[in-house]
Structure 1
Amino acid sequence: MSQHLLLPLVILVIGPDPGTFQDSAFSPSQEEPEDLDCGRPEPSARIMGGSDAQPGTWPWQVSLHHWGGHVCGGSLIAPSWVLSAAHCFVSNGTLEPASEWSVLLGVHSQDEPQDGAHVREVAAILVPDNYTRVELGSDVALLRLASPARLGPTVRPVCLPRASHRFTHGTSCWATGAGDVLEADPLPRPWVLQEVELRLLGEAACQCLYSRPGPFNLTFQLLPGMLCAGYPEGRKDTCQGDSGGPLVCEEGGRWFQAGITSFGFGCGRRNRPGVFTAVAPHEAWIRTQVMGSVPGPVFPTQPLELQSGPREPMEENCTVALPECGKAPRPGAWPWEAQVMVPGSKPCHGALVSESWVLAPASCFLDRISSDGPPRDLNAWRVLLPSRPRAERVARLVPHENASWDDASDLALLQLRVPVNLSAALRPVCLPYLEHYFLPGSRCRLARWGRGEPASGPSALLEAELLSGWWCHCLYGHQGETVPPQGGGGGGPLLGERREAGRCWNDSRWSLLCREEGTWFLAGIRDFSSGCLRPRAFSPLQTHGPWISHVTRGAYLEDQLVWDWGLEGGETEIQTCPPHTEHGACGLRQKAAQMEHLWPWLAEVHVAGDHVCTGILVAPGWVLAATHCVLRLGSTTVPYIEVYLGRAGANPLPQSHQVTSAPPLLCQTEGGSWVLMGMAIRGSRELFAAISPEEAWISQTVGEAHFLPPSGPPYWSPEGSNLCPLGMAGASGPPRAALLLLLLTPLIQG
């Protein structure tokens, strides 16, 4: 397990100057009662997925500041002692100096001081001798304050459990903190303390969840002294900046600290509950460190009726949460399909991404957007959703800040006035996290997006296949550029190969939906730069996940469900596009590809529905094939022909089909491009007729075909490279190649 894949819940949030809270007018009480009470906040009205806490509800919560900024949380356990997490203070195996830290007590909002709020400097930081890394346990720390805290209505200690204390599995407890409200989304000003209710999970139930591959394709082994709290379905959790804060449970009118916020795999992700340091097993260590302090921490006896609480069976049924988004009865029947109706405009197609939000192209509304505020006619806007008897009203429009000038950011979010109830007929589409990697070769579908003309025929026929990001990047003319890594960044373009489209893709705008284990993800949105008869490029949606999460606070981002990267997973190394790509990237072949994707220019030529020839793409709209394969001997009638691109060898052919033409002869130049040298002679798989004598005819017929200039013989790689052997370099001479060219036209489905 790589350390960088774990997410210790720590982030630097710049808060107020600690000097703001210095209570020079206050001095700590000189006589604290020896029988210190704990876990009893003043009566009052009562993180990620959490809400603002009421002032005084959690009087033991403290904020730990490093050089004046909030970094971690902690809990007051005695006037001179604070309990927190070791990983907050240990960096690269070194314990940070106590003099760099201060403790802010009695604070409900870090933006303004409240009555009773004050700061104490840290005199010492203590961590267990066996602590090394957060995922190896013992993630606990004690801070001794330079002077005792001033106790009052907003500053009180929490009770600590004894080693024998047993918290019942399934108990609802509360975590508090001032950390991120979403992954990489800090708590906004005024930095009000957050609270979230979490359910205690037994060791067996938690280990069951962590034994299944999840974020980053990792599993995790829980260790003794670790405690889990959360929900299999996720969406409520602690997050970065909450580390060291308390997880407390109420028993017998007192609040006991069951756990210390330690780490997690992301925040609020499905089947990845938060991991806490259990406090009870550290009773002896805590007592030893605070020995002699008067008053010290209080370890009340657990109420008798709870001491023999139910224990979790060793073999508990594993309840794994399935995605709540992205389920469709069949391709093309999209329960998240949304139409935004704006007076005076054509309907704009988008997608439901949560109970309250619809995602759609901002270009549908740019003529209504101004810097003065929301559109004046927003009250008249309506959203049509599947199975809803009437249109939904729109409360708010939030365009992407770059929507007006960046096609890849052509996005807007529309908030519904009333949240909808989800069902099998109405559910949101899943959205990918930033690190999501859609596997090349995945079969995807197209869905309506924007204001395009209606498609002729059912949308279920609109299918696409993801191609290699390396090939895609170079195909679109990035000569000599470094290709962005594909494995886990999600920043490269997604490529859809046209399979069975109802009409040319330029007639309509589409979004790209890709399925993983039965769940559909909105993977990409239409890129304006694509032409008609070449693979389509889509702008990936992964990069917009943080923006969508920040605005909606509830969109259904889902973890990757398929992790079998195979050879394509090697695309994380730095690669560079060959220099000659100005003619549609002719001859480019991905180096580390699966066998079925080795030759992206090969085409399947289906003749009269009963046999298959091999063709080769020589221009965006033209395929070259052997005449003897397509035309019957002596016949002048052209049969019905269909050409399939981008799948040669990827799918097994029916037994009734036979490939009657051997593959063309391809050789590689020194510059890295592949050249078509010859076509197989009728009846032979070893003899080839040269292509070069047909240059004039091909050039005259196909203006876009690219012939390499005569710059010497092709480059032959070392033996064993599976390329053309040296003896084939002069493959030319009689007989002349018998060739025909096929002009591709889109297939119009009725």
Structure 2
Amino acid sequence: MAWHLLLPLVMLGISPIPGAFQDSALSPTQEEPEDLDCGRPEPSARIVGGSDAQPGSWPWQVSLHHGGGHICGGSLIAPSWVLSAAHCFITNGTLEPAAEWSVLLGVHSQDGPLDGAHARAVAAIMVPANYSQVELGADLALLRLASPASLGPAVQPVCLPRASHRFAHGTACWATGWGDVQEADPLPLPWVLQEVELRLLGEAACQCLYSRPGPFNLTLQLLPGMLCAGYPEGRRDTCQGDSGGPLVCEEGGRWFQAGITSFGFGCGRRNRPGVFTAVASYEAWIREQVMGSEPGPAFPIQPQKPQSDPQELREENCTIALPECGKAPRPGAWPWEARVMVPGSRPCYGALVSESWVLAPASCFLDRSSSDGPPRDLDTWQVLLPSRPRAERVARLVPHENATWDDAFDLALLQLGAPVNLSVAPRPVCLPHPEHYFLPGSRCRLARWGRGESAPGPGALLEAELLGRWWCHCLYGRKGAAVPLPGDPPHALCPAYREEEEAGRCWNDSCWSLLCQEEGTWFLAGIRDLPSGCLRPRAFFPLQTHGPWISHVTRGAYLEDQLAWDWGPDGEETETQTCPPHTEYGACGLRPEAAPMGVLWPWLAEVHVAGDRVCTGILLAPGWVLVATHCVLRPGSTTVPYIEVYLGRAGASPLPQGHQTSSAPPLLCQTTEGSWVLVGVAVQGSRELFAAIGPEEAWISQTVGEAHFLPPSGSPHWPTGGSNLCPQELARASGSPRAVHFLLLLTLLIQS
């Protein structure tokens, strides 16, 4: 997990290069010129969670351009000087040439006529010599303009605080910029300057928030020269593209620049306020660099000492904000369940994701064979929410742009006619960020999703447990494909149900969504199960890949950080893994790491022979099971009796009364890739002698056609100890003419 610099492009791992930066040696301070006014915008008719600024309200805000476009913000501190962030100008430890940068002053909208705006070339860029990377501090830069700015109503310098200046904790300040309005969500045209009110957090409170581990156990040590601004509950913040811009606070009728936008973990996330460079800490360095410039920056004396509570200065209360989503009184009583009623259609189930938006399958509302666009009768639609006495009106339908051709994108957002009050029921469900990693073993439930009536019995309360990412990805992925690491969106989520038979159905064409719980908070983790044969476990399309789209449309959905991230000391989840060989129906020989319901081997089948026998079978392909001949046929008989085959429950269910097990145990060996190989089947009356499978490849392949045999180069891995010993001579044994008489292939009549 990387820290998000507030740039359009993330630049991490910057290392200092001796001599690349200006010397930061301090010199005696000099008094500011008396004739330079600062921090007084002309009277005018006013980022994440922000709004459009009024023209001329922040006349010191500048836009720094590189390669023809906006990269960072900055602030005018004197006619020839601009203050910004160091990380904007350093790539791989090297300071970029000043000639490649330009400064746009007096601009309000970056698209359209630039009335009153003008550009200046950059003559020099200065960065503290001790700057190396943002989380180590000293993230500021000074730009000397090639020619002074033209001061006027739209272009004015901001005041700078002295080193002794103290901004009271809780002070309401303002950050400005043209950065993303949400994570990975650029500011839309016409690119109007944004403003957002943020409150200063004391060092103790901010450090407390960042000392609380987040996803991937990420914490941060605040250093001198850093300050925090924002809210524990998040939702208002600076973001990518705001770097270098000012955080200003008003005192005595003047605006002082308290901070420089530096970095943060995401944008507007809970308990992760923005981190700024504290300008007051660098008074001496700024004076050193601008020495001799006339006029230089203004450092007015603080009008009056802010009255702070002595206890506040010593220590602040650390208030951890709890998630505002995903709380349910009990499993199955989902306060976010939304039922969309469309005249002439069955109800469509979705989920409330914010005070104004419901997420549901687009297939409920769009005819995939038609290109007429969204329906026009929205005024007749209604949404029923828990604990709401009346139905909600639907004002707008926004289907995903790919909803008409891919089930993984079968999503639509419905905007309610009026926001609902979230301080009482209903409550929204939490949504995962793209880097969210649902841990194997997570406790999940199935909830109604799409059209249809509720499932009979306890179906809507089915409990599930997530299986490992490697196993799930390889079952549905490609041969040799690399398994996505934690932090990368998975291709599928595979839950193991406690009631597989019930969970595998869709009553009246209804389907399921997957809800997973972390520290008492429910996340909508997956939608719709992937198309799959009845022999595979269910898999869901992960919702986290759609977080940016949902956030972009709703501008208020509750995307929440991962709440559980203890992967244990082995660290296996972070190792790169690849998938074993595949058949047309997915990887063969894959065994779940955590065997649900006591099913240790998912390819084992119970073969019930008419009368009183139960044999052990091996699933070779979706329509074929291998079983020992002696277990099925009576001695001397060639008549095949009535047989029933049960899959996915071997060892989990008691045998019917009176039945006996006539088992021919298989011999299984594990390859270095991780898949399991059937090497032999025990001969009658023995658990030590086996009929080798390899020599029967031609017969099995000719009969089945879909069975997957291990390539010659992929010999099994023979462990040096333990109970999985597989003799090499058996794996390479030559076939006996009598071996085929030990094996019988059963073709399955699959009933849906």
Query: What is the TM-score normalised by the length of structure 1?
Result: 0.82
Is 1:726 aligned with 2:727? yes
**Equivalent residue of 2:249, what SS?**
strand
Structure 2 counterpart of 1:20: none
Q: Which amino acid aligns with 2:463?
A: E
Q: How far apart, CA to CA, are the structure 1 residues paired with 2:487 and 2:355? A: 28
1:497 aligns with 2:499: no
SS at match of 1:420: coil
Quick one: distance in 1 between partners of 2:572 and 2:234?
A: 28
More deviation, 421-430/404-413: 421-430
Q: Is the counterpart of residue 536 in structure 1 residue 538 in structure 2?
A: yes
Shift of 1:225: 0.5
C-alpha distance in structure 1 between counterparts of 2:544 and 2:556, whole Å: 16
Q: Is the 8 A contact 1:678 1:690 kept in 2?
A: yes
Distance 1:315 1:498 in 2: 49
Equivalent residue, structure 1, for 2:481: 482
Describe the shift of the 1:583–1:420 C-alpha distance in structure 2 as closer, same or farther (beyond 3 A): closer
Paired with 1:184 and 1:581, the residues of 2 have a C-alpha distance of 38
1:639-666 alpha-carbon deviations (Å, 9 max, x no partner) = xx99875998xxxxxxxxxx99998531
SS of structure 2 residue aligned to 1:5 = coil
Give the conservation status (yes or no) of the 8 Å contact 1:615–1:623: yes
Residues 324 and 662 of structure 1, relative CA distance in 2, 3 Å threshold: farther
Report what 2:7 is aligned to.
10
Tell me, yes or no, if the aligned pair for 2:78 and 2:295 is still in contact at 8 Å. Answer: yes
Aligned AA (1:448): R
Contact kept, 8 Å, 1:499 with 1:644, in 2: the verdict is no
SS of match in other structure, 1:408: helix
Alignment of 1:709-748 (within 5 A): 715-720=715-720, 723-726=724-727, 729=730
Structure 2 residue aligned with 1:18: none
Return the alpha-carbon distance in structure 1 between the equivalents of residues 224 and 142 of structure 2: 20
1:601 partnered with 2:598: no
Assess, with a 3 A threshold, how the Cα gap between structure 1 residues 680 and 174 changes in structure 2: closer, same or farther: farther
Match of 2:122 in 1: 122
CA distance in 1, matches of 2:445, 2:617: 26
**Alignment partner, residue 264 of structure 2:** 264
Secondary structure of 2:451's aligned partner: coil
Q: Which runs of 5+ in 2 are unaligned?
A: 11-31, 609-614, 632-644, 653-660
TM-superposition CA deviations, 1:669-698 (whole Å, max 9, x none): 7997534456789999x74775979x99x9
Would you say 1:549 and 2:546 are equivalent positions?
Answer: no
Q: Distance in 2 between matches of 1:660 and 1:252?
A: 92
Asked if 2 retains the 8 angstrom alpha-carbon contact of 1:689 and 1:737, the reply is no
Q: 1:10 is aligned with what amino acid?
A: L
The verdict on how the C-alpha distance between 1:704 and 1:477 changes in structure 2, with shifts beyond 3 A counting, is farther
Choose the corresponding residue for 1:515, options 514, 517, 520.
Answer: 517
Aligned to 1:358: 358
Alignment of 1:453-472 (within 5 A): 453-472=453-472
* CA positional deviation for 1:63: 0.7
- The residue that corresponds to 1:575 in the other structure is 578
Q: Distance in 2 between matches of 1:229 and 1:604?
A: 61
Letter in 2 for 1:320: I
User: Are the equivalent residues in 2 in contact too, given 1:474–1:581 (CA < 8 A)?
Assistant: no
State the SS of the aligned residue for 1:536.
coil
8 A Cα contact 1:714 1:729, kept in partner: no
For the structure 1 residues 680 and 114, does the alpha-carbon distance in structure 2 shift closer, same or farther, using more than 3 Å as the test? same
Correspondence for 1:651: none
Tell me how far apart the structure 2 counterparts of residues 446 and 352 of structure 1 sit (CA, whole Å). Answer: 16
**Cα pair distance change 1:299/1:313, threshold 3 Å:** closer
The residue number in structure 1 matching 2:405 is 405
Q: Report sequence identity in percent.
A: 72
Contact 1:679 1:689 in 2 (8 A): yes
Aligned-partner Cα distance in 1 for 2:262–2:548: 23
> Which has the larger displacement, 240-249 or 663-672?
663-672
1:236/1:667 CA distance change after superposition, 3 Å: same
Partner of residue 567, structure 2: 565
Asked if structure 2 preserves the Cα contact closer than 8 Å seen for 1:204 and 1:312, the reply is no
Q: Which amino acid aligns with 2:303?
A: P
Contact 2:669-2:717 at 8 Å conserved across structures: no
CA distance in 2, matches of 1:334, 1:729: 55
Shift in Å, 1:279: 0.5
Give TM-score, length-normalised by structure 2. Answer: 0.82
Contact map agreement 2:583 2:708 (CA 8 A) in 1: no
- Which residue is 2:280 aligned to? 280
- List gaps (5 residues or longer) in structure 1: 14-31, 608-612, 630-640, 649-658
Structure 1 CA distance for aligned equivalents of residues 402 and 91 of structure 2: 38
CA contact (8 A) 1:355 1:422 kept: yes
Equivalent runs, 1:286-685 vs 2, <5 Å: 286-306=286-306, 310=310, 312=312, 314-367=314-367, 374-423=374-423, 425-476=425-476, 478=478, 480-500=479-499, 502=502, 504-507=504-507, 508-527=510-529, 529-566=531-568, 569-570=572-573, 572-578=575-581, 580-582=582-584, 585-589=587-591, 600-601=601-602, 665-668=667-670, 674-676=676-678
Residue aligning to 2:96: 96
Kindly provide the CA deviation profile for residues 157-202 of structure 1, in whole angstroms up to 9, marking residues without a partner as x: 1111111111111111110000011111111111100001111111
Note if contact 2:46-2:52 (Cα within 8 Å) is conserved in structure 1: no
Q: Deviations over 1:472-496 (max 9, x none)?
A: 3443473x35244242211311122
**Offset at 1:387?**
0.7
The whole-number CA distance in structure 2 between the counterparts of 1:595 and 1:498 is: 11
The alpha-carbon distance between structure 1 residues 298 and 705, as it changes in their structure 2 partners (threshold 3 A), is same
Over the aligned positions, Cα root-mean-square deviation in angstroms equals: 4.3
Q: Tell me the amino acid that sits aligned with residue 545 of structure 1.
A: G
Q: Deviations over 1:85-114 (max 9, x none)?
A: 111111112111111111111111111234
Mapped contact 2:579–2:673 kept (Cα < 8 A)? no
Change (3 A) 1:306 1:112: same
* Cα-to-partner distance string for 1:447-498 (whole Å, 9 max, x where unaligned): 11111342102345322222233333443473x3524424221131112233
Task: Kindly provide the amino acid, as one letter, of the partner of residue 494 in structure 1.
Answer: L
> Which amino acid letter does the alignment assign opposite residue 602 of structure 2?
W
2:727 maps to amino acid: L
| CA distance 1:484–1:299, shift in 2 (3 Å) | same
CA–CA distance in 1 between the matches of 2:457 and 2:379?
Answer: 34
CA distance in 1, matches of 2:116, 2:574: 57
Q: String of CA shifts for 1:516-564, please: whole Å, max 9, x gaps.
A: 1111111111145123343012111111111111111111111111212
Partner of 1:24 in structure 2? none
User: Contact (CA 8 Å) 1:505, 1:532: kept in 2 or not?
Assistant: no
Alpha-carbon separation, structure 1, partners of 2:454 and 2:45? 55
Contact 2:176 2:193 in 1 (8 A): yes
Q: Distance in 2 between matches of 1:129 and 1:598?
A: 62
SS in 1 for 2:450: coil
- Shift of residue 47, structure 1, vs aligned partner: 0.1
User: Structure 1 residues 713, 394: CA separation in 2 closer, same or farther (over 3 Å shift)?
Assistant: closer
Give the secondary-structure state (helix, strand or coil) at the position aligned to 2:494. strand
* Equivalent-residue separation in structure 1 for 2:707 and 2:288 (angstroms): 82
The one-character-per-residue Cα deviations of 1:214-239 (angstroms, maximum 9, x if unpaired) are 14431111111000111111111100
